[in-house]
Chains A and B, each alone.
Chain A
Amino acid sequence: MFSELNYFYTSLKDWQKALMFSFISYSIILFGLIVAITFILKDFKFVLVFGLTFVYMGAVILLMIISVRILKKRLIEK
C-alpha cells in the first residue's frame, strides 16, 4: 500500500504535486468553514454541510481542471 502511494507520488511532476497540495490546502479551508458553521449554529446540519461541500469542492475542482489545461499549455516541464 505504502509502496504504491510512494510510486504514485514520485511519478508526479512538481507542478502536479503543487496542485495536489493546493487541493489539500483548500480542503483545510472547507474543514475550517464546516467547524465554524457547526459552532455558530450549535448543531451539525448535514444538508447544509453537504451543500456547502458540494458547491465549494465543485468550484475548486472546476478551477483545477481549467488550470491544468492552462498549465499544460504554458508550463515548461523539466
Chain B
Amino acid sequence: MFFIISVPVIGSSVYFGGIVAGALSLVIIIILGRYVYLSAFRVLLKWYRCREPGQGELSTIDPIIDDLSSNFSVKRPKIYIFESSVPVIFTVGSHKGPCMVLSSRSLSILDKNELKCIIAREMVRIKEGSISQNTFVALVAGIIASFSTTALWMAMLSGFGNEEDPAPKFIRFVVMGIVMFPCSIIVYTGASDLTLKADTEVARVLGKKDVLVSALKRMHTDILLNSMEYFNPGHVHLFTMNPVKVNSFFDLHLSLFEMRPDMAQRLNAISQVMVNGSEF
C-alpha cells in the first residue's frame, strides 16, 4: 500500500524538483504514513459513532474482560459501544492498545456466557498481533468502498432522482464496479483472516463448544433475518460474522467480500476440537 502510494509521488517529485525534493517527499510520506497507521483506529471509532459505556452499563461484562485478558495474556482492551441493529463485535487498535467495539444488538441478544465466547474470539485476534494491520486495511478499504455511496449521493443531489430510482442506483452500480474490485483485493491481500483459528482456539481454551456454537448461530440467524443495515464492505475482515449481504442485483459487487468460511465450515471446525479447557 505504502509502496503503491509513494512511488508515483516520489517519482514526480524527483522529476520536477530533483533529488532533494524526492528525498523530502519520501520523509513526509513516511511520517504521514506512520501517523495514519497509528491513528486509523480513532477514525474507525468515529466512523461507527462509538461511545464509551456509562457508569455501570457493562457491569456484567467488565469482570469477563478482566478474566479473559489474563487468561489469554493480552492487554485489557478499552470497550466501546455503538448503536446498531446488527450483532457485530470487532476490535481495532494500534500498538498503544486494542479497543473492542460491541454493537447494542449484540449486547441484547447474547447471554453472558455467549458474550464471553465471542469476546474471547476477539482476545485470540488481539493475541495474534494483527489488529493494527487489520485496522489500517479497514480504513483504506473502507474509504475506497465509500466512494460508491458518495456517487449515489452525488447522483441524487444532481437531479437523477431518489434513492429508489433506477438512475442513481445504476450510477452507484457502475462506481461500485470500479471501486469494489481494488477494495476487495486490498482486503484479501492486506488483512489476516483468523476466523477458524479464533473459533477453534476459543473452543479449546474455554472448553464450552456448545455455548460458542449457540452464540455463532444466534448471531448468524439474526443477521440473516433482521439485518437491513448497510455495512461498509471494506470492514468485513474485522467482524465476527460478515454482516454484508447481497440483497439485490445492484449489490452484486458485495459478493466479492464473502471471505468468511461459511457457518457449516466453522461449526465443523469447532466440533472437531478436542476440549481440554477450563470451565465457566
Contact = CB atoms under 8 A, between A and B. Distances in A.
Interface of A: 13-15, 17-19, 21-22, 24-26, 28-29, 63-64, 66-67, 70-71, 74-78
B262 A76 contact: yes
A63 B262 CA distance: 27
Contacts of B188: 70-71, 74
Contact of B253 (A22, A63, A75, A78): A22
A66 B253 CA distance: 17
Contact of B177 (A25, A66, A75): A25
Given A28-B174, A70-B188, A74-B188, A19 B260 contact: no
B222 interface: no
B181 A22 contact: yes
Contact of B258 (A15, A29, A64, A67): A15
B106 to A, nearest CB: 23
Q: Looking at chain A's contact residues, is the secondary structure mostly helix, strand, loop, or mixed?
A: helix
Interface of B: 173-178, 180-181, 184-185, 188-189, 193, 246, 252-253, 255-256, 258-262, 265
B177 A26 contact: yes
A21 B255 contact: no
Nearest to B182: A63
A19 B181 contact: yes
A21 B177 contact: yes
A22 B178 contact: yes
A29 B178 contact: yes
Nearest to A19: B181
Contacts of B260: 76
A77 B261 CA distance: 9
Nearest to B259: A74
A59 to B, nearest CB: 12
Contacts of B256: 15, 18-19, 71, 75
A71 to B, nearest CB: 7
Contacts of A63: 181, 185
Given A67-B184, A70-B185, A76-B262, A14 B252 contact: yes
A48 B255 CA distance: 36
A28 to B, nearest CB: 6
Nearest to A29: B178
9 contacts: A17-B255, A18-B180, A63-B181, A67-B181, A67-B185, A71-B188, A76-B259, A76-B262, A76-B265
Given A18-B253, A21-B173, A75 B180 contact: no
A67 B184 CA distance: 9
Contacts of A74: 188, 193, 259
A25 B258 contact: no
Contacts of B262: 76, 78
Given A15-B256, A18-B256, A76-B265, 20 more contacts: A14-B246, A14-B255, A18-B181, A18-B253, A19-B181, A21-B177, A21-B252, A24-B177, A25-B174, A28-B174, A63-B181, A66-B185, A67-B184, A71-B256, A75-B256, A75-B258, A76-B259, A76-B261, A76-B262, A78-B262
B189 A70 contact: yes
